[in-house]
Amino acid sequence: MIDLRYGMNPHQPARVLDDGPLRVRAGTPSFINLLDALNAWQLVHTASAATGAVVAASFKHVSPAGVATAGPLDDVMRETWRVTEPGPLTGAYVRARDADPKSSFGDVVAVSAPVDAELADLLSQVISDAVIAPGFEPGTLEVLARKKSGTFLVLETDPAYEPPECERRDVYGVVVEQRRDRAPFPPGLPSDALLGLATLRHTQSNSVAVVGDGMTLGVAAGQQNRVDCARLAVGKARTWWLRRHSVVRTLPRVAGMSRQDRLNWQIRLAEGSLTPAQEVEFTELFPDVPPVLPDPRPWASRATLVSDGFLPFRDNIEHAATIGISHVVEPGGSARSPDVVNACAQHGMSVTHTGLRLFHH
């Protein structure tokens, strides 16, 4: 049994009754820390098994802000996170955090392989709250335990652990039980589709992800309708792309401004979300920079849109088309699936119907 810092909120006492494969190596978890960490670990463990690659995730409020396999970094990632040619594990986390750095602020980090010295050093420099991993190389625990004046949470889990076949939940005194979601992903899917499916299996529904080159470029979670999911995921992917715009990349550095504050201004500029008051402040800080960027041309010709439930209307596809999505992966089975397929054909997108719904709550 483990006493927690608090439950969902500071006024709620909480404890762990059975810690299963979990080991607290530093810090004291809260209820939400554990929900994030355990969901994030399942995601990277599943995604790594599906893709055969090292996987990292940046988790906030029981859904991923970003997920990525190990892979190459572009210049924006190198500049933003101050790395050059990192190893696979650090590279995977940089790619995951770069997907939505606004949401990743204060994240729970999950990685599918033991934390090495390079990743521990990076985590000591960024704003994050916790890490969960299947192990820690010598010396890394000492580095991580010093973070946040010793309050940074370090969790270790056993990758060989097999959870019970059924899972239970107690809600308002009602205990429900269901078989754990172990349905295999369809064979023959490309790696990006598999990464998207693994991501959505552990993302609050309704959910949609845009995936490209082994990275989630946009994840929309917990929406009440699927059109908003598609619109939000596409919007986040568009913001990711516009952060590569020369005006955004070269935003002047202001004396005394932190890396995170400059990054926040870059994101606001890229997503076009400056409020009137922020436009005034932006102009004062960056007098030679236009506060509005042009709409990007379609660019995501190698990206995949993945949905955890069937797409009921063609407007989901219309949103995807604005950035040039090339492939759509969804369960299928809607009464309007023929309309969705026709819309994909009109926009030059291929479609895969998996027959597999991946709701998660």
Is-catalytic flag, 60?
yes
Question: Using an 8 Å Cβ cutoff, are 10 and 28 in contact?
Answer: no
Is the preceding omega at residue 206 within 30 degrees of 0, hence cis? yes
The residue annotated as part of the active site, out of 33, 45, 60, 347, is 60
Q: Angle CA(77)–CA(229)–CA(106) in degrees, nearest 5? A: 45
Residue 176 makes CB contacts below 8 A (sequence gap 6+) with 168, 169
Which of 61, 148, 353, 360 is the catalytic position? 61
For residue 219, the 8-state DSSP code is E
Q: Which residues of 263-294 are buried (b: 16+ CB within 10 A; e: fewer)?
A: bebbbbbbbeebeeeeeeebeebbeeeeeeee
Distance of alpha carbon 44 from alpha carbon 124, whole angstroms: 21
Q: Which of 39, 45, 147, 206 is catalytic?
A: 206
Active site residue 61: yes
Q: Which of 219, 200, 271, 204 is nearest to 66 (CA)?
A: 219
Report the C-alpha gap between 357 and 2 in whole angstroms.
35
Question: Which helix (H) or strand (E) segment is 327 a member of?
Answer: strand 327-330
Angstrom distance (rounded) from CA 354 to CA 76: 34
Angle (CA) 126 130 136, round 5°:
95
Q: Catalytic residue at 347?
A: no
Phi and psi at residue 295, in whole multiples of 5°?
A: -65, 140
In Å, how far from its chain's centre is CA 197? 13
Secondary structure class of 16 (helix, strand, coil):
strand
Start-end of H helices in the chain: 31-51, 75-81, 88-99, 101-104, 117-123, 140-145, 191-201, 226-242, 246-249, 259-271, 276-285, 315-321, 337-346
Residues annotated as catalytic are 60-61, 206, 361
